[in-house]
Every structure is written in structure tokens, then in C-alpha cells.
Amino acid sequence: MLTFGGGGFAIAHNGNITNALSLRYDLVKNGSIFQSTSDTETILQLVARSSADRTIKRLVDALLQIEGAYALVILTNKKLIGARDPFGIRPLVLGNLDGAYILCSETCALDIIGADFVREIEPGEVVIITENGIESINPFSKTEKRLDLFEYIYFSRPDSVLDGKSVYDCRKSFGNVLAKEFPVDADIVVPVPDSGVPAALGYSEQSKIPFELAIIRNHYVGRTFIQPSQSSRHSSVKLKHNPNKSSVDGKNIILIDDSIVRGTTSVKIIQLMRDAGAKKVHMLIACPPIKFPDFYGIDTPETEQLLAANHSINDMCSFIGADSLGFLSLDGLYKAMGYKDGRDNNNPQFTDHCFTGDYPTDLKDYKDEKIQEQLSLLSDNDINI
């Protein structure tokens, strides 16, 4: 017999469980007490509830109940365990340093500590590392490799290699293809730093238009994405970027960014360029329009707030104040990733729901509004308590 009372089960999670609230609803109804609002705690509660008698079996019990995207790293008193969702939406890699195994999301983490890359954990794989070595199981009846394209577009660091492809090289390729799809007559190519830099270098390389680092990023301010609210996100754009006026003044410029979500950053950046004296500002985006929300790992806005979900490209161009606006095509994106025939619509090579609405997993929580309301920590609805 084993209990959970002995401590010893720590879990780290990259991703998002898409049926966490439904599972939580049932668990709470049956007497579990949650300590947090995190979807990750649901996994722990499911492990605790399992009637199996071995740690791995209990974990598998839990994994077979959860839906969504996850790369998990688990530490018990005796084991280091890694687990990747059956579509491999989030990456997970195995490294080795002086004989010790390492599990991490990206290869750059291995580089930084001087470890060797061993291999990627496969979709649906559960890898168990003990003092006796490493073994793997795959508890799922069906797995299918569909890494999230957003890892190449935005999430991963440029110095990482995912599934054998350099993220930096992929982003430069996006710029190369963008230059073919949208040739523009301009004086300079300017990246929105830092995420637009590789695509802008790719565009410049292909178009022969000079690359200029005309926007300086203030590194004392954090990433736009993780600011808590829209209003603080607003003012932080102003604090974050400053133009080199002498590079911009009187020029026709091509501005390159990795993506447009709400469009608020683009509005600010284009205004910055105009205030610095730019004659024309052509905005080019190194991915297709984001029309569908993400549920697999980032706090993207709901559909209503996604600029491309509700506007034509012409309307978007007006909204952001650009002289022209272009997005890399979906097939262009797949071509830049090395698939010369573009997307395989029958068996898409990647998870690309943000552009296509094609979600590989069920999204139970998001369909059932009642569940979300009932479990709210600020509920006024507890008439029986």
C-alpha cells in the first residue's frame, strides 16, 4: 500500500490542461480540497485519487483522464519522470551531463549548462529515470506528432533546435518567404525587437534591402505578453521601445514582426516610426493571421480581442496605421518549415489551430460555461455554505 502522505511528488508543467475544470468539478464534488487554481494541481489530485498501488500506474491513471497540451517533469524520492502529451504539442527533450539525465523544454537550456542533447521525448511517451537507468512506456492507444507551430514562431528561443530544426533558421526562412510573397520598394528593413529580428534578417537577405536596428528595446522592462492587464500592457509598449531617429527620418521602411495578436503593439510601434520621421511604414508579419484563440499554453485573448478574427486585412492595416500590411501565407509558413508542398490538410504536420481552428484535442472546459462559473473562487453562489 502506498499513501500520498509521505510527501515526495513535485510536478512542473509547461502547457495547459483543457479539461481541468471539468475534472476539478468532479473531484471537488467527491471531497478533494484544492490548494490553488492551477490546472496542474488537477493532475496531482488525480494521482492521489488513483486506486493503483505503484507511482507510475497512478500517474498513468491521471494522464489517461487529462486532455490538452503538456510537457511534465515530475520528481519523487526515487524517480525523475517526464511525460509529453500524445500530440507532442509542447516540446520536451532529454539531455545528459556527466552521466546525469536532464529533462527540459528546449535545447538551449542544455547548451547553457554545458549538457549534451540526447533525444526528444516522443509524443505520448512517459520516461522514467531512476538510479537503475532510464526506461520508457507509452500508455496511449494512439499518438500523432503535431508540435505547435507557435514554438517556431514565438515561444522557443532562437538558439534552440526543435525536432531537428534550428528555430533561428526557421525564423529567417519565414523572412525569406515573406520577401518573395511581399516584395516592397523601401529603404530599410526594421525588425520589431527582439522577436522580429531573425525574420527581418531573412527578408533583408532575400530582398537586398539594408537591415537597420532602428528600434531599441529597453531591457529593464519585461515581455509584453506576461503583463497582467491590458492597460499596463498599453503603457509598457511605450516604455519598451525607442527609435533611432537618425536611421528612420525621411525613410520608407519595412517593419517586420513575428505576429499580430491584438494589434496594440503594432499601433504604437508604427506611430513611433512616424514620430521619428518615417515617410512610409510597410508592416509585414512573419506568420498568418491569428484568427482562433490558443488553449494550449498561453494566455491569449478570447476570440473577440484577436484582431484578425474580426477584421479584414484592409481594416487591420487602417487600424494599425500602416501604409500596407502583409501576412505570411499558411502554405508559405509550411514551405519555410521545409514542406515544399505546404500544409498536408489531411494529416497536418503541426498544431496550427491559431490560424486554422484545427484543435487536435477536445476543449471540454471551454464549451461548458456553467462549469467555469460554478468553480470560480469568487463565486457568490454557495448558498449551502
Q: Which of residues 43-62 bind a second copy (CB under 8 A)?
A: 44-45, 48-50, 53-55
98 in contact with a second copy (CB under 8 A) = no
383 binds a second copy (CB under 8 A): yes
Q: Out of 141, 231, 346, 384, name the contact with a second copy by CB under 8 A.
A: 384
Judged by CB under 8 A, which of 42, 142, 197, 320 binds a second copy? 197
Burial 31-61 (b: 16+ CB within 10 A, else e): ebeeeeeebbbbbbbbbebbeeeebbebbbb
Nearer to a second copy, 16 or 156 (CB): 156
Question: Would you say 4 or 319 has its CB closer to a second copy?
Answer: 4
Q: How far is the CB of 10 from a second copy (least distance, A)?
A: 11
159 belongs to the binding site for a second copy (CB under 8 A): yes
We find the least distance from the C-beta atom of residue 31 to a second copy, in angstroms, to be 3
From the list 92-100, 151-159, 321-329, 335-343, the region that binds a second copy by CB under 8 A is 151-159
Which amino acid appears at position 204 of this protein? Answer: S
Other residues' Cβ atoms within 10 Å of the Cβ of residue 220: 7
Closest CB 83 distance from a second copy, rounded Å = 16
Q: Which of 122, 163, 181, 205 touches a second copy by CB under 8 A?
A: 205
Which range in 84-92, 205-213, 225-233, 255-263 contacts a second copy by CB under 8 A? 205-213
Residue 373 CB contacts under 8 Å (≥ 6 apart), including other chains:
379, 381
Q: How far is the CB of 295 from a second copy (least distance, A)?
A: 21
- Footprint of a second copy on 347-376 (CB under 8 A): 374-376
- Binder of a second copy out of 216, 250, 310, 318 (CB under 8 A): 216
Integer Cα distance of 167 and 174 in angstroms: 11
Of 1 and 314, the one with the shorter C-beta distance to a second copy is 1
Sign of the alpha-carbon torsion through 274, 277, 280, 285? negative
244 contributes a contact to a second copy by CB under 8 A? yes
How far is Cα 113 from Cα 139, in angstroms, rounded to an integer? 32
Q: Determine, following the binding rule CB under 8 A, whether residue 130 of this chain makes contact with a second copy.
A: no
Among 40, 80, 108, 323, binds a second copy (CB under 8 A): 108
Instruction: Say whether residue 31 binds a second copy (CB under 8 A).
Output: yes
Please report, as residue ranges, which positions from 305 to 344 form the binding site for a second copy (by CB under 8 A): none
